[in-house]
Amino acid sequence: MCSLLICADQHILLDGYDMPQSMIITIDVGSGKIVKTCSIWCSHNTFKLTDANIVRWIDAGNNVILPGLPHIYLNEPGCTEWEEFYTRTCAAALGGVMALVDMPFNSISPKITTAAGQCYAGIALSGMSIFPCVSAEDVKMAMAELDVSTAFRISERSSSPPCVTHHASGLDTRQSNTLSYVPRQKLELDTVSLIMSLWAMHPVLQCHIVHLSTSSALPVVATAKVHGLNLAAETSDNITAGWPQQTNRDLLWAAFQDGMINCVVSNHSPHIAELKQLDDGDIMSPAASCLLWAEGSKCRMTITDIRRWASMQTVQYVHLSHRKRSLKAGYDSNFIIWDLKAQVQVTKESLQFKNRLSPYEG
């Protein structure tokens, strides 16, 4: 006999449905796979099962069930004072992130070995042993090399003018509106424009814009899509929920609705307390946190939108659609049981990442 976990709910998000449906999900604990689904709901007492030992029955009640979310980057050994596989995957699982798909950071043997036995979420690693700064010439060479390939990934920090770490003269870095003057936005726009101009010579490439944060780059993205270039753009939840310029945030949310931005991913900032500089209030230090649902619901975002932007389209870009994103037989049993109405106070004790600092604490 196999050991099963049975989950029953009347509010499950399924492929092809805009509204949650009733379903019973049967999971094989040994393989972690969904083995059967049934489009009904019933109580534990009326459910018939004769060929297995049920380990646990979960009645999700009026909570919503949706597929788990993917993304983030990790580095261990090295930088373990910032984060470790154990703490990061615990935090990810607590937040509903069931698969940590590494950006092209590194996938070396010591990292793979260290991950064994201490992960509470699935991981997928990629990249080389050294992660250098990228110049325009590097991008040209990469595009030429990948001209017959299917994917090319580029971030807003691919160009390397030395402006990101330099504050505008005379500005108070403790005020949120200072960010509107930071050269980051021009750097990002210049980088996206560079990629689009080079892309015209290599139109078969699939390009992915990582962590888009400035709405000024949206017209460039729109032009690329109008011309049929195979472009995907993402932003991160700390940008959509925490960016201090309301106009910029509103335009990014509108770009989601228009299909110009395809997905939203996590962008965990694992820095140690000294680097986050919370005591002196310097907002130019790299602290990132977010409450995607709380902020998105103000912009009429629905649970179906979250599933599409943060799960379905994300796993499509990392080629995991055959294993994740759907709650049906044969897929990984990665899902979240979510009480949409619950209000939770963030405490230091509830945080699972290593350096327990959050602007939402309290």
Task: Give the sheet arrangement for strand 122-124, strand by strand.
Answer: 69-70, 97-101, 122-124
CA angle 70, 74, 79 (to 5 degrees): 160
Q: Quick one: pLDDT at residue 130?
A: 63
CATH number of the domain that residue 80 is part of: 3.20.20.140
183: its two tokens: 């050269």
Lookup result for tokens 């069930």: 65
How would you write the pLDDT of the chain (362 residues) with one tens digit per residue?
457 777 777 787 777 777 788 888 888 888 889 988 888 777 777 776 655 566 788 888 778 887 766 555 666 766 677 777 888 888 777 777 778 777 666 677 788 888 888 888 888 877 766 666 777 888 888 888 877 655 555 554 444 443 333 344 444 444 444 444 455 677 788 888 888 888 778 878 888 887 788 888 899 888 888 888 788 888 876 666 655 577 888 888 888 888 888 887 766 555 666 655 555 444 333 333 345 676 777 777 777 787 787 778 777 777 788 888 788 889 988 888 888 777 777 787 877 777 676 666 76
Indicate whether 22 and 112 sit together in one domain.
no
Indicate whether 78 and 35 sit together in one domain.
no
CA distance linking residue 245 with residue 100, whole number of Å: 29
Range of the domain at 82: 69-159+181-325
Query: What is the number of structural domains in the chain?
Result: 2
CA distance linking residue 75 with residue 114, whole number of Å: 10
CA distance linking residue 325 with residue 283, whole number of Å: 36
Q: Quick one: pLDDT at residue 89?
A: 81
CA distance linking residue 273 with residue 126, whole number of Å: 28
3-state secondary structure of 179: helix
Domain boundary among 39, 62, 85: 62
CA distance linking residue 137 with residue 30, whole number of Å: 49
Domain boundary among 15, 36, 62: 62
Domain boundary among 62, 85, 105: 62
